Structure 1
Amino acid sequence: MSSLKFGTSGLRGLVTDLEGGPSYAYASAFFRTIAADGGEGAVVIGRDLRASSLGISATVAEAASAAGLRVINAGALPTPALALETMRQGACGVMVTGSHIPDDRNGLKFYRASGEITKTDEAAIISALDLKEQPARSVQTASTIPEPEALARYRDRYRAFFPADILAGLHVAVYQQSSVARDLLSELLAALGARVSAIGRSEKFVPIDTEAHRPEDTAFIRETMASGTFDALVTTDGDADRPLMADESGRILRGDVVGLMTARYLKIGTVVVPVTAGSVLERAGFRQVIRTKVGSPFVIAGMEQARRDGADSVAGFEANGGFLLGSDVCLAGQVLPALPTRDAVLPILAALADACAHNVRLSTLASTLDAGETASDRIPEISAQRSGAFLARLSEAAYLNTFLRTVGAPQAIDRQDGVRIELDQGRTIHFRASGNAPELRCYTEAHSAADAEDLLRWGLAAAAAELQDGSLRP
């Protein structure tokens, strides 16, 4: 049974399930759905730095050539840079990346000229999919047009918007690892006045998850920052659409906190976030906060609806830190055009600029937001059927009250994506089924880290006990 599956952002699975015929078939199905809907006539193809991405991108190019598309090869570049180029060219796009997952896995992210594909588009691709399709000839024969300036245009987008000295006085460690933005990020920070030290470069792929941090990554960051040399450490996931930032003490900032800093710096009025983002947002002074299901397609749909409803300053961000600019913004006479896809570079630059503007360190800036503390974990090897049965029972008032009796009574409930329950004393607990794996996820929020961890431990244990109930088994 194939591991390939559409998740919160694109198709992902084992490299062994994606290479060759499957990547050709999925790409062909995408091109057919685009052609059936008017088409764009050209495709921009990009990739991250994992071992399998170059070969898979060649297969995608073959599928595009067979579909009669002009094939533009943007090479290795961040996913938001690919999205920017598709918008400029009026072309569709395919990014070969597994984002933050390990090197034995990979994926495809699909773009229309207007931006990321929707969940409706995903369903259309699956409907058009023919896994019997195979490349008609060697994947090395597809004729492509190189586009080496796509990365430079993405870099210049931020060099033109931010003043050249805005980060002057900062010493920033850039954890380069295998991020496709590793050199670009160092260059941009230096161009904006920061002193940059590049560390930890790796030619072997490093699966940096900006939300569920590996112990070895947190240890490396703490050890790096313990020297007292740096004001901040920054890095991204593999395809640079999710940032990771640590303050001068080595504490990693939550992605939604970085998003909040960025939205505040850009003077955004309406923010669109998934239900997993912290409740601090409703207290942060935005004109409107809209919550959605987890996944960038849902955040994008929320931003589009906000614009239709008349909002003139719109952005979205996720708990993983990815920032989506849903409308043009103007600061100090400079305009930054909308880029409605997840981006890691903008929040890194804006959060650092926000700290400089307030003349405080990152830790101080974060503490002034009163964002509380969060914790999250998962129960693995839980089928979608079992997760669904548990979540359905949580939707029954009598069952929910009994389930929560030892931790408190529900004050408010959000059932957009799983069940998110607001308790007393500023606490929340949220259960949802993963969109990428057979697991049940639990997220908690409280005023202190200890309370958030205590609530998480209770939630995982209580859910595990309920999942052992015979009535919840398929």
Structure 2
Amino acid sequence: MTTLVSNKVIGGSGIQFGTSGARGLVVDFTPEVCAAFSLAFLRVVQQSSSVERMALAIDNRPSSPEMAAHCAALLQQQGIAVDYYGVVPTPALAYAAMQQKVPAIMVTGSHIPFDRNGLKFYRPEGEITKQDELAMLSQAAEFSWPLPPVSLAVSGYAASAYQQRYLQWFAADLAKNLRVGVYEHSSAGRDIYAPLLQQFGATVIALGRSDSFVPIDTEAVSAEDEARARQWAKQHQLDMIFSTDGDGDRPLVADEKGQWFRGDILCLLAAKALGVEALAVPVSCNTAIEGCGAFSQVTRTKIGSPYVIAGFEQLTNYRKVAGFEANGGFLLASDLQAAERLLKALPTRDALLPFLAIVQLAQGKPLSLLLNELPQRFTASDRITNFATEKSKALLVDAQANIDGFAARLQLNSPVVSVDTTDGLRLILENADIVHLRPSGNAPELRCYAESDSNEKARSLVQHVLCCVSSLA
């Protein structure tokens, strides 16, 4: 038996906090590293409250069950009881933990490839902050090694509580007479969605279930998934298609034609449907949010749910506050009340709420018609994979030092009139087009976001810029 120290184990692991949780290669998430992160989190939470229990859940990645076992073994060694919920969406775990007022750990890498994974941490009141992350990294907490093996029994509470959240808010006939395709792939919520939609009256067609992990990125939908959606919509005469990323906190929704909604547009419509008064959203989101005139205040933040949550602090004068990200993850900061119905706040990314909200907004009409109500601004995004973060940062530092020269090398079709460095480099052009470059916070990727007055222009602009950047690198 030896003694290990949490910050030394974490510091030598190569695992880092990204925009949302600790992420890295599976091979770097050794048993010792999982234990060290779990202990560091426990100690940080214990600084402000006593902890007797902790909730734990996983996604469908092949590495997740073993990582969860190591986290649980450390907690049990420390005298903490573990409520294990098995494979459920991240927001289901977060909601269950908030209702029971316990901290939680989610083992998930979200949308990143299966050779990577991650840990996401929740205090009893919601996601940890960036300050909490720093506190965890500095914890010099000792633990005995090796840890004894554990056996985890799965509780169904988180899945049930998550479903009940929506059943008690939306009308029982919300999806009556609708044909809904559920693209299941390897989503952590794939066994929850169909039964829930059926309770709302929908006819559900299960699509694309996979026994291997599928890294769905809702901000960069593959050409294959675009073609699949069109084929499925036509073949099954669907009114809409619903899916999520791997851990079920980012939605992917297609209309009756099989056209995928952009995440920020989906959430903009959802926020209108829910009567939200004020929003916190990342700088990368579509400017139609301000342009639609539906919200009293819109606060722009850095990219990542911790920054959106921090943005809620500027909106305390409003009763109905929410936030969302360009990836479609919707965060509800306020409890909503309507007659006898209550929708409790869930200030972490959620995929189900924005989808159900636009079903309510459409009132049986084609989803595609909802877009006609908004300013005609279109966004697109893609990324260069296997592009080292250090390389991305160096590129943007050089670009900021000579904006005009960088714009010339990108061969942009309009002069740059303003620059936003809130997160990465966002160039606003004279013709109102927008180009935004930013290193991913979760993987070695350089992301590009673009906005224009047509979908074709936005997509073309993204591909053009990424092609130019590749040639520069």
State the TM-score, normalizing by the size of structure 1.
0.90
Instruction: Report what 1:99 is aligned to.
Output: 110
Q: 1:362 aligns with which of 367, 382, 390?
A: 367
Say whether the 8 Å CA contact 1:189–1:349 is kept in structure 2. Answer: no
User: Does residue 438 of structure 1 match 2:444?
Assistant: yes
Matched residue type, 2:358: A
CA distance in structure 1 between the aligned counterparts of 2:394 and 2:374, rounded to whole angstroms: 37
Per-residue displacement from partner, 1:27-75 (whole Å, max 9, x unpaired)?
A: 1111122223334332111111222222211111111112222221222
Say whether the 8 Å CA contact 1:21–1:134 is kept in structure 2. Answer: no
Say whether the 8 Å CA contact 2:112–2:443 is kept in structure 1. Answer: no
Per-residue displacement from partner, 1:189-247 (whole Å, max 9, x unpaired)?
A: 11112221122222322222211123332232222112261000111112111110011
Instruction: Report what 1:403 is aligned to.
Output: 406
User: Does residue 296 of structure 1 match 2:318?
Assistant: no
CA distance in structure 1 between the aligned counterparts of 2:447 and 2:156, rounded to whole angstroms: 41
CA distance in structure 1 between the aligned counterparts of 2:65 and 2:130, rounded to whole angstroms: 27
User: Does residue 212 of structure 1 match 2:220?
Assistant: yes
SS at match of 1:187: helix
Matched residue type, 1:443: Y
CA distance in structure 2 between the aligned counterparts of 1:103 and 1:454, rounded to whole angstroms: 29
Instruction: Return 5+ residue gaps in structure 1 as ranges.
Output: 469-474
Evaluate the alpha carbon distance shift between residue 146 and residue 196 of structure 1 in structure 2; reply closer, same or farther with a 3 A threshold: closer
User: Does residue 170 of structure 1 match 2:170?
Assistant: no
User: Does residue 52 of structure 1 match 2:52?
Assistant: no
SS at match of 1:227: helix
CA distance in structure 2 between the aligned counterparts of 1:129 and 1:216, rounded to whole angstroms: 47
Instruction: Report what 1:186 is aligned to.
Output: 194
Say whether the 8 Å CA contact 1:230–1:248 is kept in structure 2. Answer: yes
Percentage of identical aligned residues: 43
Per-residue displacement from partner, 1:241-268 (whole Å, max 9, x unpaired)?
A: 1110011111111000110111010000
Evaluate the alpha carbon distance shift between residue 201 and residue 463 of structure 1 in structure 2; reply closer, same or farther with a 3 A threshold: closer
Instruction: Report what 2:7 is aligned to.
Output: none
Matched residues, number: 458
1:152 deviates by: 0.7
Instruction: Report what 1:471 is aligned to.
Output: none
User: Does residue 420 of structure 1 match 2:426?
Assistant: yes
Let me know the Cα RMSD of the aligned residues: 2.2
Evaluate the alpha carbon distance shift between residue 392 and residue 160 of structure 1 in structure 2; reply closer, same or farther with a 3 A threshold: same
1:175 deviates by: 1.2
SS at match of 1:226: helix
Instruction: Report what 1:449 is aligned to.
Output: 455
Instruction: Report what 1:341 is aligned to.
Output: 348
Evaluate the alpha carbon distance shift between residue 440 and residue 201 of structure 1 in structure 2; reply closer, same or farther with a 3 A threshold: closer
Moved more, 412-421 or 265-274: 412-421
Q: 1:268 aligns with which of 276, 297, 306?
A: 276
Instruction: Report what 1:70 is aligned to.
Output: 81
Say whether the 8 Å CA contact 1:176–1:198 is kept in structure 2. Answer: yes
Residues 1-80 of structure 1: matches in 2 within 5 Å? 2-80=13-91
Q: 2:139 aligns with which of 116, 122, 128?
A: 128
CA distance in structure 1 between the aligned counterparts of 2:157 and 2:390, rounded to whole angstroms: 47
CA distance in structure 2 between the aligned counterparts of 1:145 and 1:217, rounded to whole angstroms: 35
Instruction: Return 5+ residue gaps in structure 2 as ranges.
Output: 1-11
Evaluate the alpha carbon distance shift between residue 226 and residue 63 of structure 1 in structure 2; reply closer, same or farther with a 3 A threshold: same
1:443 deviates by: 1.2
Say whether the 8 Å CA contact 1:373–1:447 is kept in structure 2. Answer: yes
Residues 301-340 of structure 1: matches in 2 within 5 Å? 301-307=310-316, 310-331=317-338, 333-340=340-347
User: Does residue 225 of structure 1 match 2:228?
Assistant: no
Instruction: Report what 1:472 is aligned to.
Output: none
Matched residue type, 1:293: K
Instruction: Report what 1:375 is aligned to.
Output: 380
Instruction: Report what 2:3 is aligned to.
Output: none
Moved more, 176-185 or 321-330: 176-185
Matched residue type, 2:195: E
Evaluate the alpha carbon distance shift between residue 134 and residue 24 of structure 1 in structure 2; reply closer, same or farther with a 3 A threshold: farther
Evaluate the alpha carbon distance shift between residue 180 and residue 403 of structure 1 in structure 2; reply closer, same or farther with a 3 A threshold: closer
Evaluate the alpha carbon distance shift between residue 31 and residue 458 of structure 1 in structure 2; reply closer, same or farther with a 3 A threshold: same
Per-residue displacement from partner, 1:59-107 (whole Å, max 9, x unpaired)?
A: 1111111222222122221111111121122211001112122322221
Moved more, 321-330 or 374-383: 374-383
Evaluate the alpha carbon distance shift between residue 114 and residue 237 of structure 1 in structure 2; reply closer, same or farther with a 3 A threshold: same
1:371 deviates by: 4.3
Matched residue type, 1:441: R
Moved more, 416-425 or 387-396: 387-396
Matched residue type, 1:442: C
1:435 deviates by: 1.3
Evaluate the alpha carbon distance shift between residue 173 and residue 402 of structure 1 in structure 2; reply closer, same or farther with a 3 A threshold: same
SS at match of 2:243: strand
CA distance in structure 1 between the aligned counterparts of 2:236 and 2:52, rounded to whole angstroms: 53
Say whether the 8 Å CA contact 1:24–1:134 is kept in structure 2. Answer: no
SS at match of 1:411: strand
Instruction: Report what 1:140 is aligned to.
Output: 150
1:427 deviates by: 1.0
Matched residue type, 2:372: S
Evaluate the alpha carbon distance shift between residue 146 and residue 174 of structure 1 in structure 2; reply closer, same or farther with a 3 A threshold: closer
Evaluate the alpha carbon distance shift between residue 129 and residue 347 of structure 1 in structure 2; reply closer, same or farther with a 3 A threshold: farther
State the TM-score, normalizing by the size of structure 2.
0.91
Moved more, 427-436 or 384-393: 384-393
Matched residue type, 2:56: I
1:276 deviates by: 1.1
